[in-house]
């Protein structure tokens, strides 16, 4: 064997060894600002972990949900890390579709995760997904219009106050709507808002024995209140409005108030896009004095599917993306205001973050005001604030959302919408074996 | 005797044709217009004159590499079309020139597969692809797109072949042409317009297929449909970026369609008037 052959053999063996060591993680995610920022910052991760490469698959939220559900249910093994929400985590964990995150490293500090968020991502005390960013919902309002109406927004208003303020702030001639709320049909669209609102009116989806509750007076009060308020003070075509449509309306100065995700605060207060950036105030979501506020709880989180062959590398990545170090990395590159919110208590104790994000305290208070394990005034057999953590909810929630959206559009009465919602829920629960 | 066409008729027909064409083309035109708007402008409402910003194109290019999904779209659409033609030409030949009493039933059965919603077979197909190791592979997706469009290709070719007089093929046989020579040297040249339009239509269908191409791919085989899908955002304005991504994705097929429109129309109307 010549020296040249020896060298060549050694090189090829080394190359093979390196190739065998290098792992490529495929990460499924949604196209949100924070996720895109993470993709741009992954050089930091690959520099620290040269043996791990990252491939990103970015999809529309509903397509992503369908894709990862198909893959995880069939154990396709196409993804090593999945972006999932607080709805999926408890359901998937119970079906053993997710691996518990028990190898995030000694310096991860899981105890720093905001308890309400950690609770929504844990089953039997084990964390099954790590929160990348968390959110609740709160009121964003125009301070100038509120003042003009002769009112002062309390930190924790009632629905009565909000409705009164909305009607007083409405000025149809100036194209100002007192309040902008979600109306677009979908379990994660209008039903996220309406379910959270219903909680504050004492309503619930099911009683302790899984009997649907749309025939109860609390739901009638909730839906009638919503439809009347939107008729008097909402924008035209509100039944087609979701987060993005209301965001655009608020940024253009066409909404007096907007109740939606806390993550919207960074958009409406950004002078680059918002014409009312310096006139926005924040308050907790309203209540009716029954002990529950109309705010939700959600966290886009990173989980590891049970079918992956790269669990160790996947957890390494999750620890990097959701750890304290990542917040510091974002702050150093793009400022504290751009750090993913709503996941770690330490972020809210940071004076620099408090200074950069004036809505920080209200966001934390809103998150802490939501309890996914006890979401309603009356007892329920399910977890989840703006959803019911059962597999049937996606389909049922969207069906009910379509009925309520039709009621808002005036295509059917509130009574008819509730009757049909009750029938649909009863049929679904019977089919699922929850009730006889 | 030819009917006299008045100038008024011509004007009315031209205006009507342009109006119909504009209505059909308008969604594409508005997508292109929206791609030159800012995000706030895009969601603000109907507006035909954009601010002509190229910010969305810059962001789209900055966020993802366009070339890889573009090449995947080319490979998948051209590959599946060639494979479909390879199978469909002999099949259509057999049905057009040697029909049996079951030929119509076979054709109908083939077409009936198009009537089933794709989502109904999502799980079985996903499992088959998983077990064959074809998830996120160009080969798997090429076969899939071939199977999807095969009924249409066979139907179209069958229709064209039926317009060719059987006597010409018989004459070729009399001259001693083999089956292969008959198909390759006699039938195919005569059916070129039909084959070309079938090919073009199939490329367009494969290029635009968005159910399987999104669901059976992740990173390696993902074509432009997956590229477009990645720009929709649940929290954040995205219409202008989505329109820019869509414009980039449809531009190649639009240009191809524009240059080959004569061939396409000729093929699609082949045999319409006897």
pLDDT tens string A340-384: 999 999 999 999 999 998 889 999 999 998 988 899 999 999 999
Cβ-defined contact of B230 to A58 (cutoff 8 Å): yes
Q: What is the pLDDT of residue B189?
A: 85
Mean per-residue pLDDT, B121-129: 92
CA distance B244 to chain A (A): 15
Cβ-defined contact of A76 to B126 (cutoff 8 Å): yes
Q: Say whether A207 sits in a helix, a strand or coil.
A: coil
pLDDT tens sequence across B162-208: 888 888 888 888 888 888 888 888 888 888 888 888 999 999 999 99
Q: How far apart are CA B230 and CA B242, in angstroms?
A: 8
Task: Specify whether A282 is located in the same domain as A310.
Answer: no
Cβ-defined contact of A74 to B63 (cutoff 8 Å): no
- Token pair 């009997």 is found at A211
Task: Specify whether B198 is located in the same domain as B152.
Answer: yes
Task: Specify whether A116 is located in the same domain as A22.
Answer: yes
Task: Specify whether A279 is located in the same domain as A143.
Answer: yes
Q: Say if A363 falls within a structural domain.
A: no
ipTM above 0.85, yes or no: no
Task: Specify whether B199 is located in the same domain as B171.
Answer: yes
DSSP secondary structure, B185-209, as one string: IIIHHHTHHHHHHHHHHHHHHHHH-
CA of residue A291 relative to chain centroid, distance? 22
Q: Say if B270 falls within a structural domain.
A: no
When CB atoms are compared, the residue of A31, A243, A251 closest to B231 is: A31
CA angle A170, A362, A339 (to 5 degrees): 115
Q: Residue A61: in which H helix or E strand, if any?
A: helix A61-73
Q: How far apart are CA A298 and CA A193, in angstroms?
A: 12
Task: Specify whether B188 is located in the same domain as B85.
Answer: yes
Mean per-residue pLDDT, A98-113: 93
Q: In chain A, which residues have their Cβ closer than 8 Å to the Cβ of B231?
A: 31
Task: Specify whether B192 is located in the same domain as B244.
Answer: no
Q: What is the pLDDT of residue B165?
A: 87
* pLDDT confidence tier of residue A21, bands split at 50, 70 and 90: low
Task: Specify whether A408 is located in the same domain as A264.
Answer: yes
Q: Say if B33 falls within a structural domain.
A: yes
Task: Specify whether A213 is located in the same domain as A350.
Answer: no
Q: How far apart are CA B14 and CA A332, in angstroms?
A: 62
Q: Say if B265 falls within a structural domain.
A: no
Q: Say if B272 falls within a structural domain.
A: no
Tally of domains in chain A: 2
Q: Are A166 and A244 within 8 A, CB to CB? A: no
Cβ-defined contact of A244 to B123 (cutoff 8 Å): no
Of A356, A381, A400, the last residue of a domain is A356
Q: Say if B95 falls within a structural domain.
A: yes
Q: Say if B264 falls within a structural domain.
A: no
Q: In chain A, pLDDT over 70 holds for what percent of residues?
A: 95
Q: Say if A271 falls within a structural domain.
A: yes
Query: Which CATH number goes with the domain that contains B179?
Result: 1.10.3720.10
Task: Specify whether B36 is located in the same domain as B134.
Answer: no
Contacts 24+ apart (CB under 8 A), B197-200: B197/B156, B197/B263, B197/B264, B197/B266, B197/B267, B197/B268, B197/B270, B198/B85, B198/B88, B198/B153, B198/B156, B198/B157, B198/B160, B198/B267, B199/B81, B199/B85, B200/B256, B200/B257, B200/B260, B200/B263, B200/B264, B200/B267
Task: Specify whether A224 is located in the same domain as A273.
Answer: yes
Residue of A38, A55, A60 to mutate, interface with B, max B Cβ within 10 Å: A60
Backbone angles phi, psi at A232, to 5 degrees: -80, -35
Cβ-defined contact of A32 to B236 (cutoff 8 Å): yes
Q: Say if A364 falls within a structural domain.
A: no
Smallest CA–CA distance from B219 into chain A, residue: A57
Q: Say if B201 falls within a structural domain.
A: yes
pLDDT tens sequence across A242-281: 998 999 999 999 999 999 999 899 889 888 888 999 999 9
Q: Say if A246 falls within a structural domain.
A: yes
Query: Which CATH number goes with the domain that contains A110?
Result: 3.40.190.10
Task: Specify whether B77 is located in the same domain as B58.
Answer: no
Task: Specify whether A304 is located in the same domain as A416.
Answer: no
Q: Say if A365 falls within a structural domain.
A: no
Task: Specify whether A122 is located in the same domain as A182.
Answer: no
Task: Specify whether A386 is located in the same domain as A271.
Answer: yes
Q: What is the pLDDT of residue A10?
A: 55
Q: In chain A, which residues have their Cβ closer than 8 Å to the Cβ of B122?
A: 70
A15 pLDDT above the threshold of 60: no
- Token pair 């035209």 is found at A236
pLDDT tens sequence across A120-141: 899 999 999 999 999 999 999 9
Cβ-defined contact of A78 to B236 (cutoff 8 Å): no
Task: Specify whether B243 is located in the same domain as B205.
Answer: no
Interface size between A and B, measured as CB pairs under 8 A: 89
A2 pLDDT above the threshold of 80: no
Q: What is the pLDDT of residue A22?
A: 73
Task: Specify whether B58 is located in the same domain as B3.
Answer: yes
When CB atoms are compared, the residue of B219, B237, B238 closest to A57 is: B219
Domain of B171, in residue numbers: 66-229
Q: Say if A361 falls within a structural domain.
A: no
Q: How far apart are CA A255 and CA A145, in angstroms?
A: 9
Domain of A56, in residue numbers: 2-134+298-356
Tally of domains in chain B: 2
Cβ-defined contact of B233 to A28 (cutoff 8 Å): no
Q: Say if A184 falls within a structural domain.
A: yes
Task: Specify whether B93 is located in the same domain as B163.
Answer: yes
If you average pLDDT over every residue of chain A, what do you get?
91
Q: How far apart are CA A186 and CA B234, in angstroms?
A: 12
* pLDDT confidence tier of residue B44, bands split at 50, 70 and 90: confident
CA distance A290 to chain B (A): 31
Q: Which residues of A123-146 are buried (b: 16+ CB within 10 A; e: fewer)?
A: beeebbbbbbbbbbbbbbbbeebb
Task: Specify whether B79 is located in the same domain as B174.
Answer: yes
Q: What is the pLDDT of residue A8?
A: 52
Backbone angles phi, psi at A25, to 5 degrees: -95, 135
Smallest CA–CA distance from A135 into chain B, residue: B235
- The encoded tokens of residue B12 equal 């009315």
Task: Specify whether B140 is located in the same domain as B215.
Answer: yes
Q: Say if B58 falls within a structural domain.
A: yes
Task: Specify whether A130 is located in the same domain as A148.
Answer: no
Task: Specify whether B8 is located in the same domain as B105.
Answer: no
Task: Specify whether A126 is located in the same domain as A145.
Answer: no
Q: What is the pLDDT of residue B270?
A: 59
* Length reported for chain B: 274
Q: Say if A154 falls within a structural domain.
A: yes
Task: Specify whether A140 is located in the same domain as A119.
Answer: no
């Amino acid at each position: 064997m010549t020296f040249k052959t020896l060298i060549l053999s050694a090189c090829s063996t080394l190359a093979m060894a390196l190739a065998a060591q290098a792992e490529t993680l495929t990460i499924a995610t949604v196209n949100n600002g924070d996720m895109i920022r993470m993709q741009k910052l992954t050089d930091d991760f690959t520099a620290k972990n040269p043996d791990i490469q990252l491939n990103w698959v970015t999809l529309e939220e509903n397509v992503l949900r369908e894709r990862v559900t198909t893959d995880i249910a069939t154990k396709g093994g196409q993804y090593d890390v999945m972006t999932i929400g607080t709805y999926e985590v408890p359901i998937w964990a119970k079906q053993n579709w997710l691996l518990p995150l028990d190898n995030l490293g000694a310096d991860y500090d899981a105890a720093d995760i905001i308890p309400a968020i950690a609770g929504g991502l844990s089953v039997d005390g084990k964390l099954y997904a790590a929160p990348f960013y968390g959110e609740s919902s709160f009121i964003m309002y125009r301070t100038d219009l509120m003042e003009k109406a002769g009112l002062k927004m309390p930190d924790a208003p009632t629905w009565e106050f909000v409705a009164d303020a909305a009607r007083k702030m409405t000025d149809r001639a100036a194209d100002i709507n007192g309040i902008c709320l979600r109306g677009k049909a979908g379990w994660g669209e209008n039903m996220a808002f309406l379910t959270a609102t219903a909680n504050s009116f004492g309503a619930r989806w099911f009683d302790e024995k899984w009997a649907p509750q749309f025939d109860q007076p609390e739901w009638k009060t909730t839906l009638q209140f919503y439809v009347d308020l939107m008729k008097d003070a909402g924008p035209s075509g509100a039944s087609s409005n979701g987060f993005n449509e209301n965001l655009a309306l608020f940024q253009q100065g066409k909404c007096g108030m907007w109740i939606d995700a806390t993550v919207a605060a960074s958009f409406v207060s950004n002078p680059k896009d918002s014409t009312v950036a310096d006139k926005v105030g924040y308050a907790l979501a309203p209540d009716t004095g029954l002990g529950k506020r109309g705010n939700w709880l959600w966290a886009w989180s990173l989980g590891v599917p049970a079918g992956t062959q790269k669990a160790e590398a996947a957890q390494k990545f999750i620890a990097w993306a959701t750890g304290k170090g990542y917040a510091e990395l974002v702050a150093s590159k793009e400022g504290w205001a751009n750090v993913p919110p709503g996941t770690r208590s330490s972020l809210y104790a940071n004076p620099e973050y408090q200074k950069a994000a004036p809505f920080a305290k209200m966001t934390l208070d809103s998150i802490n005001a939501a309890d996914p394990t006890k979401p309603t005034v009356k007892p329920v057999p399910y977890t989840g604030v703006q959803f019911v953590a059962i597999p049937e909810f996606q389909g049922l929630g969207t069906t009910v959302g379509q009925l309520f959206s039709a009621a808002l559009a005036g295509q059917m009465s509130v009574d008819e919408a509730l009757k049909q919602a009750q029938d649909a829920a009863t049929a679904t629960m019977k089919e699922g074996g929850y009730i006889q | 005797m030819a009917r006299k066409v008045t100038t008024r008729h011509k004007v009315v027909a031209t205006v009507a044709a342009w109006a119909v064409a504009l209505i059909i083309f308008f969604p594409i035109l508005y997508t292109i217009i929206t791609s030159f708007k800012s995000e706030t402008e895009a969601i603000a409402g109907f507006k035909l004159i954009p601010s002509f910003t190229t910010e969305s194109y810059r962001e789209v290019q900055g966020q993802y590499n366009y070339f890889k999904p573009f090449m995947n779209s080319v490979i998948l659409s051209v590959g599946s079309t060639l494979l479909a033609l390879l199978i469909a030409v002999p099949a259509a030949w057999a049905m057009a020139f040697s029909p049996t009493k079951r030929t119509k039933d076979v054709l109908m059965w083939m077409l009936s597969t198009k009537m089933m919603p794709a989502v109904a077979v999502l799980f079985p197909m996903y499992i088959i692809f998983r077990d064959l190791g074809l998830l996120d592979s160009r080969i798997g997706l090429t076969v899939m797109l071939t199977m999807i469009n095969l009924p249409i290709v066979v139907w179209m070719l069958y229709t064209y072949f039926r317009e060719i007089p059987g006597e010409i093929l018989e004459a070729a046989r009399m001259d001693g042409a083999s089956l292969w020579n008959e198909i390759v040297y006699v039938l195919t040249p005569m059916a070129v317009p039909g084959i070309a339009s079938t090919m073009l239509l199939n490329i367009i269908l494969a290029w635009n297929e968005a159910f399987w191409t999104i669901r059976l791919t992740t990173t390696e085989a993902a074509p432009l449909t997956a590229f477009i899908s990645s720009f929709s955002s649940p929290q954040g304005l995205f219409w202008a970026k989505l329109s820019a991504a869509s414009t980039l994705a449809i531009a190649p097929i639009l240009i191809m369609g524009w240059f080959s429109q004569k061939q396409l129309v000729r093929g699609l109307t082949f045999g319409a008037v006897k």
